[in-house]
Amino acid sequence: MKEIREKADVCVIGSGAGGAVCAKELQEAGLSVVVMEQGGDFSRIDPEEDLIQGSIRVLAKTRAFRGNVGMGNPMVPIAWGSSVGGSTVLNTGTSWRVPQKVLRAWRDDHGLEVFTDDHISRLSERVEKFTSIGPVSDDIMGMSGKLMRKGVAALGWSGGPVRRNASGCRGCGSCVVGCPYDAKKAMHLSYIPRAIELGARLHKKTRAEKVLMRRQRVTGVEGIQVGEDGRKWKVTVEARVVIVAGGAVPSAVLLLRNGIANSSGQVGMNLRLHPGAVVGALFDEDVECWKGVTQSYYCDEFLREGIIILVGALPPPIGALIVPGTGAAHKGFMARYRGFTDAGALISDTSSGRVRAVGHNALITYSLADTDVQRLKKGFSALVKIYFAAGARYVFPLVQGGAALESIRQAEEFIEKHIARNSLLTASLHPMGTARMGRNPASSVVDMFLESHDVKGLFVCDASVFPTSIAVNPQESIMTLATHASEHIAAHMEDYS
């Protein structure tokens, strides 16, 4: 097998929100960086293509995502990005700072005193400036966001326009199949190009296989690169620092397969999925939910209880899964899809799952705790109240045996009687945990600078390190922690000689 050999100060595994930030920040600090990315380039979608009607087909064609299922009650489908740019390519661009309540818990319960509000604020401002993070404006919000705003205001609840990493957004509604106008500043359009401009080297379609070590210090990474013609090359990168940033599931599998950084037995444990409750609504007026930013407005009235509510605005092929009924009944509702919209309530789960490595694949187990089932039911209740307050004719909770409900009373009765753990239809786009931070090496995988307690020079820089669920979409939080770790690495590089 042909071999490619590289030498660098740092080898980064993964090019998503964590890996891309590390690559750019460390290269900018004067270090040499090589990035290994298992996926290939994301092909920019043609703006003339019918992205709305063909959304599922487009997603399948790009092959820019991977998935698995959390086995438990209920089963939870889990997805993450698998291309240059990772999940940032196919998400909505929603960007939140780590909530202050979460930071307090990290400091008080996990000994992570470095994460002060001021420190995180400084790092977040750096990320926000580089990726043009700002609130969704009215001209691209779309009716879906405006109806949620109307309902939230009518109830006197707290909410606002979502902040996103986009500039020049046209509100075309195709965020989750990849922005056709390159307005969303995903990693393949922002941090990765800057890192390469500064001298970083990127190996695409290269799966990291082995973290090389000597005397409990990293010395590099071995991987396998697959060419367009199917031929394979061995890629070996000699490096003083290795950063694992493949995401909460792939990173856990890599560490477990290598049998490293796990003296605590916590690698793969403590998986959080940030599951959600979804409710669709049908209005008499035209909504045309496929027009406007996909995720444009939020309600944080219940954030202290670990619930964040966000507009979803799904295109017809995906939204059809929410509309209840079969045959003529389903067809009748779909004929009125111009009046349809939807939203989700994501919960900060206390449930804890596990990732096991089975070859290169993951076996994931996860079951919702009773407290999280109750949080999801509260999320359902909040969503139906918002939509009825905004003037909805019907609401559709996404559960097994879902129904079209015409009043708050009817909806509340349905939620109480028919929504239970085994009827929930939920999914996860935000897996977290599996290599959590902590001061105590006996109960955590990495320290407060994201370095392994066990292996010198081995860092984990993705959502794996969150010691708790963070209650909000994790993209900016991952980028902020990656910036934090990069500053530490750059300042202490002499320790890794």
pLDDT digits (tens, 9 = 90+) for 2-33: 889 999 999 999 999 999 999 999 999 999 99
Residues 159, 299: contact at Cβ < 8 Å? yes
- Concatenating the DSSP letter of every residue in 324-385 gives ---HHHHHHHHTTGGGEEEEEEEE-----BEEEEETTEEEEE----HHHHHHHHHHHHHHHH
Across the chain, mean pLDDT equals 92
d(CA 23, CA 11): 9
Residue 72 placed within a domain: no
The confidence band for 48, taking pLDDT boundaries of 50, 70 and 90, is low
Residues 431, 249: contact at Cβ < 8 Å? yes
Exposed (0-12), middle (13-18) or buried (19+): which is 190, by Cβ within 10 Å?
Answer: buried
Last residue in a domain, options 405, 423, 441:
423
Which pLDDT tens digit goes with each residue over 156-174? 999 999 999 998 899 988 8
Q: What is the mean pLDDT of residues 287-292?
A: 91
The confidence band for 314, taking pLDDT boundaries of 50, 70 and 90, is confident
d(CA 466, CA 437): 6
The confidence band for 333, taking pLDDT boundaries of 50, 70 and 90, is confident
26 and 107 together in one domain: yes
309 and 373 together in one domain: yes
Q: Return the number of other C-beta atoms located less than 10 Å from residue 348's C-beta.
A: 23
Query: What Rg value do the Cα atoms of the chain yield, rounded?
Result: 22
Question: Is the pLDDT assigned to residue 175 strictly greater than 90?
Answer: no
Residues 22, 485: contact at Cβ < 8 Å? yes
Tokens found for residue 93: 């661009």
Residue 74 placed within a domain: no
257 and 379 together in one domain: no
d(CA 60, CA 272): 26
Residues 427, 77: contact at Cβ < 8 Å? yes
Tokens found for residue 15: 């090019």
Cα torsion angle, 132, 300, 425, 384, sign: negative
What is the pairing mode between strands 354-358 and 340-347?
Answer: unpaired
The CATH number that applies at residue 259 is: 3.50.50.60
Last residue in a domain, options 403, 423, 443:
423
Residue 353 placed within a domain: no
Which pLDDT tens digit goes with each residue over 440-458? 999 999 999 999 999 999 9
d(CA 67, CA 362): 10
Please give the biggest Cα pair distance in the chain. Answer: 70
474 and 334 together in one domain: no
312 and 213 together in one domain: no
322 and 399 together in one domain: yes
Residues 283, 313: contact at Cβ < 8 Å? no
Tokens found for residue 335: 């004929």
Residue 166 DSSP class: B
Residue 262 placed within a domain: yes
121 and 252 together in one domain: yes
391 and 446 together in one domain: no
54 and 127 together in one domain: yes
What is the pairing mode between strands 361-365 and 65-71?
Answer: parallel
What is residue 264's predicted lDDT score, i.e. its pLDDT?
A: 98
What is residue 172's predicted lDDT score, i.e. its pLDDT?
A: 86
**If we measure between CA atoms, which residue out of 318, 50, 317 comes closest to residue 172?**
50
Question: Is the pLDDT assigned to residue 49 strictly greater than 60?
Answer: no
Residues 485, 244: contact at Cβ < 8 Å? no
What is the pTM for the complete model shown?
Answer: 0.95
Residue 171 placed within a domain: no
Which pLDDT tens digit goes with each residue over 60-93? 555 567 888 999 989 999 989 889 999 999 899 9
Residue 362 placed within a domain: no
The CATH number that applies at residue 162 is: 3.30.410
Indicate the number of domains in the chain. 2
What is residue 56's predicted lDDT score, i.e. its pLDDT?
A: 55
What is residue 331's predicted lDDT score, i.e. its pLDDT?
A: 84
101 and 199 together in one domain: yes
Catalytic residue, chosen from 110, 203, 274, 430, is 430
Residue 231 placed within a domain: yes
320 and 439 together in one domain: no
30 and 143 together in one domain: no
Clarify whether 430 is annotated catalytic. yes
Tokens found for residue 225: 């690169």
Which residue shows structure tokens 């270090």? Answer: 31
Phi-psi region of 35 (alpha: psi -120 to 50; beta: other; left: phi over 0): beta
Last residue in a domain, options 380, 403, 423:
423
What is the pairing mode between strands 2-13 and 232-244?
Answer: parallel
Instruction: Return the SS3 of 146.
Output: helix
Strand (E) or helix (H) holding 481: helix 475-491
Residue 357 placed within a domain: no
- Where in the sequence is the domain holding 149, given as residue range(s)? 135-166+276-348+369-423
The verdict on whether omega for the bond into residue 431 sits within 30 degrees of 0, i.e. cis, is no
